[in-house]
A and B are shown apart, each in its own frame.
Chain A
Amino acid sequence: MILTQNLGKSFDSFTAVRNLNLNVGAGELLALLGPNGAGKTTTVRMLSSILRPTTGRAEVNGYDVVTQPAQVRQSIGVLTEQPGLYLRMTGIEYLLFYGRLYGITDSAIRERGLALFERFDMADAHQRRLGQYSKGMRQKVGLIRAMLHKPTVLLLDEPTSAMDPHSAKLVRDTIKEMRDDQRTIILCTHNLSEAETLADRIAIIKKGSVVAKGSPAELKQQLLGHPQLEVRVDHHLNGQVKELDNLVTVESINENTIRYRTPNPEQDNPILVRRLGELGLGIIALHEVSQSLEEVYLRVVAEAEEAQPGANN
């Protein structure tokens, strides 16, 4: 598990992360979202015991990142934004090197490494030099490196950024499996649909501070309000919707569609359908308008910008 309390990091006069409070349990995946320079990578580096926090504290798997760095690093797997491979090594040589650093026997490294190469559709590539790998393959080798010693905590920075859709799906499926296997995962990504698909909870960071936190559904509810519904009818609406105003909050009306919000769709929708019928309007469709995480994200980031313009300067 990962626990941070008022975690912060400053470089001279620049504050990269401030008062970060996270609690990510076993079998949970937290997505860290935020614009470039928001403090995601600095957070991952602090949780990897590479950077020392300037304020607060953090525990990874029960180990303090400042006083027990060796234990922290032994129990985590890190995928950096750029995999940073040694391009003259073959895939299997690379895994043997990293596996030995974690104290794994060569036979175990080969067995597990080859299984992971196969898992990621690269079974025939393990003897090739990493310099000959495509971008996506290199990213996958980075992920294999992070998973090789079966860490209980994974810190993944943009795991699918350079991948084709098929590879990205393979990686996402693997991440889901690891989460289901009770691993604690932090995923830094700009891919909002990936975050929505994978994350149990999302934290949006802006200028080093968490500006929103919760499950994707909670965030949408918090920031975009109640679900938006759309009803399409078979006749032109000629001002007849005023009848609905005291029932739901109408947001827009077109020729034959009405968009509205209601805090209580189970109760209000049947009444709304009945009233429209009484007005002689036939219902063609009634559905919930999907609200994307992107909207949430953009709104949160914009609000944060208004609230703390140039906070780090």
Chain B
Amino acid sequence: MATVVARREIKDSFRDWRIMTPIILLTVFFPALMNFAAGRMMAFVSNYGAQIIATQLIPFLLLVVGFFPMSFSLIIALETFVGEKERKSLEPLLATPLTDAQLYLGKMVAVLVPPLLAAYLGMTVYMVGLYFNVGWLPTWQLLSQTVLLTTVQGVIMVSAAVVISSQTTSVRAANLLASFIIVPMALLIQGEAAALFWGNHVGLWWLILALAITAVVLVRMGLHLFKREELMGRELDDIRLGWIAAEFWAVMSGRRENNGRYPNPFRWYRQTLAIVPQLGRPIVTLSVALLGSLGMGVALAFIYRLPPDMLAQFTGDQIAANLDQLQIVARGLPLTIFFQNVRVLLLLALLGTFTFGILGILVFMAPWVIVGFAAGQIFLAGENPLLFIAATVLPHAIFELPAIMLAAAAALRWHLTVIAPPPNSTLSEAFVATAAEFARIFIGLVLPILLLAAFVEAFITPQVMIAVYGR
């Protein structure tokens, strides 16, 4: 069934001169122009013995030649659902036995195929021309990387655009939202250009892997979000601030669970604690990330060994020498530590909202990479790393780690509702509800524990350090 939809749409695209003309121009004339530019550039820079600049730029032009027709997919994808809705042809389609997934995948394939074929063709035209012009041929690695980058970028743009198209109520609104795709893609192209220029092929393989994962996440998100109900049930893209605030407050205050009445503080706490078991999967994910970041830190310590004179700072005598000063500083710090931790956790929550939780997880991992790195360097300095962690981190981490874990897990659960909202609620309902539950966990559990951890870190951890290293 999905192929029936895809075939019709592809055929329709090939019949539309407004789609075909730019695609042909970008497929035939643009590569020829790039070819000419590459030839001229080679001739120019060779006058100054700087052929390396041209040879390093040629792969980038190959990527650009593929990207331009691919970017056209964005325009088609943005209007695929909402355009049909505006033209009133969507409702008959929704009344057929097609499942949501078949319709979504059929549309996505249809949007992806013509620009992708055009991109491959454009790259072929460019390479053939360049071969006959200056005798340049890409390596297999470069060729496969540019083809893969073009493909995954296409899938990412199309899947994100199809999500936008299925969630907006007008083509105009979809086009306005396109900047959320265009800006990151522009930054990505710049990163790829730098990697290609420096010949960082290992980095490019990692980038392809990351983009492929992002593409899978976006397709999965699109499949989860795509609902007939959403397509036909909304007529306006309102920002309902009042509704958002009311929903948030209803969940956050506990009125939702208590039939519109405010619960007493004990009941509110009991119900807040009842959210914790729902954080199981995010906690498992974050625990894996924590262990991975510790391991990564240790590995980095072995790769980037500190010079011997710096390593000497990590020996027991040197640590002990600095402890008295540290103790004085630490006593003035509990609230600073507390507010710093709060700030970082709020940043984690904020960054994750528009990156499907990815940046949030990275913020969560960063300190543990540092702890791992420090432990690794301690080991290299001949000290016991476990003793180091036990003395410097463990006393306050007993409190801090659960608090951070709870906050990060609640935030991750909130962020992931975008990819997989619960079946019986809309995306906006689920997003606001999980945001409010994050706020509940944060205020009710995380803040008190963080405050306790900050005092432990300021007053007890230094004592433990003195006890251990003050020999």
Known: A80-B91, A85-B89. A101 touches B98 (CB 8 A): yes
**Of residues 1 to 58 in B, which have CB atoms within 8 Å of A's CB atoms?**
1, 4-5, 8, 12, 15-16
In the complex, B471 has a CB within 8 A of chain A: no
Enumerate chain B residues within 8 angstroms of A45, measured Cβ to Cβ.
91, 232
Report the Cα distance A50→B228, complex, angstroms: 6
Given contacts A80-B88, A84-B87, A85-B89, contact A101 B1 (CB under 8 A): yes
B contact residues around A11 at 8 Å (CB): 233-234
Separation of A224 and B108 alpha carbons in the complex (Å) = 56
Bound CA span A98–B240, Å = 38
What is the CA–CA distance of A74 and B90 in the complex, to the nearest angstrom?
17
Q: Is the CB of B94 within 8 A of A142?
A: no
B-side contacts of A86, CB under 8 Å: 8, 12, 89
Residues of B within 8 Å of A73, CB to CB, are: 95-97
The reply to whether the CB of B131 lies closer than 8 angstroms to some CB of chain A is no
Which of the four size classes fits the interface of chain B?
Answer: 20 to 34
Which residues of A are found within 8 Å of B8, using beta-carbon distances?
Answer: 86, 89, 97
Whether the pair A80, B92 counts as a contact (CB closer than 8 A) is: yes
Inter-subunit contact B96/A98 (CB<8 Å): yes
B243 is an interface residue with CB less than 8 A from chain A: yes
Distance from B252 Cβ to chain A, minimum over Cβ atoms (Å): 20
Chain B hits for A145, CB < 8 A: 92
Closest chain B residue to A16 by CB distance? B233
Measured between beta carbons, the chain B residues less than 8 angstroms from A76 are 95
The answer to whether A102 touches B96 (Cβ under 8 A) is yes
Known contacts A51-B229, A97-B4, A101-B1, A84 near B98 by CB under 8 Å: no
**How far, in whole Å, are A22 and B102 apart by their CA atoms in the complex?**
32
With a cutoff of 8 Å between Cβ atoms, the chain A residues found around residue B1 in the complex are 101
Map CB proximity to B onto A129-148 as digits: 1 under 8 Å, 0 otherwise.
Answer: 00000000000001001000
Q: With A50-B232, A89-B12, A97-B8 known to touch, is A84 a contact of B96 (CB < 8 Å)?
A: no
The answer for the CA separation of A100 and B228 in the assembled complex, in Å, is 20
Cα-based distance from A223 to B346 in the complex (angstroms) = 65
Question: A120 to nearest B CB, angstroms?
Answer: 17
User: Does A306 make an interface contact (CB < 8 A)?
Assistant: no
Q: Which residue of B lies closest to A97 (CB)?
A: B8
- One digit per residue, 1 when the CB lies within 8 angstroms of any chain B CB and 0 when it does not, for chain A 82-111 equals 111110110000000110111100000000
**Chain A residue at smallest Cβ distance from B5:** A101
What's the Cα separation between A74 and B95 when bound, in Å?
9
Residues B97 and A70 in contact, CB atoms below 8 Å apart: yes
Please state if A50 and B229 are interface contacts (CB–CB under 8 Å). yes
Do most interface residues of chain B lie in helix, strand or loop, or is the interface mixed?
helix
Residues of A within 8 A of B285 (CB): none
Q: Take A70-B97, A88-B12, A101-B98 as given contacts and tell me if A142 and B92 are in contact as well, using a CB distance cutoff of 8 Å.
A: yes
What A residues does B258 contact at CB under 8 A?
A: none
Q: A-facing mask of B202-223, CB < 8 A → 1, else 0? A: 0000000000000000000000
Q: Nearest CB to that of B12 among chain A residues? A: A88
Q: In the complex, how many angstroms separate the beta carbon of A63 from the nearest chain B beta carbon? A: 12
Least distance between A101 CB and chain B CB atoms (Å):
4
B96 touches A101 (CB 8 A): yes
Q: Which residues of B contact A102 (CB under 8 A)?
A: 96-97
| Interface presence of B271 (CB below 8 A) | no
Most buried by A among B5, B90, B233, B240: B233
Interface residues of A in 217-272 (CB under 8 A from B): none
Asked if A48 is at the interface of the complex by the 8 Å CB criterion, the answer is yes
B144 in the interface (beta carbon within 8 A): no
CA separation between A73 and B92, bound complex, in Å?
11
Chain A 26-59 residues near chain B, CB threshold 8 A: 45, 48-52
The answer to whether A88 and B16 touch across the interface, beta carbons within 8 angstroms, is yes
B87 and A70 form a contact (CB under 8 A): no
Which residue in B97, B232, B234 is a CB contact (below 8 Å) of A101?
B97
B95 & A48 in contact (Cβ 8 Å cutoff): yes
Residue ID in chain A nearest B3 by CB atoms: A100
Nearest opposing residue in chain B for A129, CB measure: B15
The residue in chain B whose Cβ has the minimal distance to the Cβ of A77 is B95
Contact A51 B232 (CB under 8 A): yes
User: Is the Cβ of A101 less than 8 Å from the Cβ of B12?
Assistant: no
Is B97 within 8 A of A50, CB to CB?
Answer: no
- Asked if A88 and B91 sit within 8 Å, CB to CB, the answer is no
- State in angstroms the CA–CA spacing of A48 and B96 once bound together: 9
Cα–Cα, bound, A284→B228 (Å): 64
| Distance, CA A86 to CA B9, complexed state (A) | 10
Question: Is A278 in contact with chain B by the CB < 8 A criterion?
Answer: no
Complex Cα spacing A74 to B228, Å: 16
A residues near B94, Cβ cutoff 8 Å: 48, 50
In the complex, B99 has a CB within 8 A of chain A: yes
Cα–Cα, bound, A103→B4 (Å): 11
C-alpha spacing A83/B15, complex, angstroms: 21
CB closest residue in chain A, given B100: A69
Contact B4 A12 (CB under 8 A): no
Which residues of A are found within 8 Å of B243, using beta-carbon distances? 12
List CB contacts (< 8 Å) of A1-28 with chain B: 11-12
Say yes or no for A178: interface residue by CB 8 A criterion: no
Q: Is A78 part of the contact surface with B, judged by Cβ < 8 Å?
A: yes
Closest A-chain residue to B87, C-beta based? A84
Which of chain B's residues have a CB closer than 8 A to the CB of A85?
89
**C-alpha spacing A31/B20, complex, angstroms:** 46
In whole angstroms, how far apart are the Cα atoms of A102 and B96 in the complex?
Answer: 7
Task: Identify the interface centre among B8, B87, B92: most chain A CB within 10 Å of its CB.
Answer: B92
A sample of 16 more A-B contacts (CB under 8 A), given A52-B229, A88-B16, is A11-B234, A45-B232, A49-B228, A73-B95, A76-B95, A78-B92, A78-B95, A83-B92, A84-B87, A84-B89, A84-B91, A84-B92, A85-B89, A89-B12, A97-B8, A101-B1
Name the 4 nearest CB pairs between A and B, nearest first: A84-B89, A84-B88, A78-B95, A82-B88
Q: Pick 26 A–B contacts, CB within 8 A, sort by A.
A: A11-B234, A45-B232, A48-B94, A51-B229, A52-B229, A70-B97, A73-B95, A73-B97, A78-B92, A80-B88, A82-B88, A83-B92, A84-B91, A84-B92, A86-B12, A88-B15, A88-B16, A89-B12, A98-B96, A100-B4, A101-B4, A101-B5, A101-B98, A102-B97, A103-B97, A142-B92
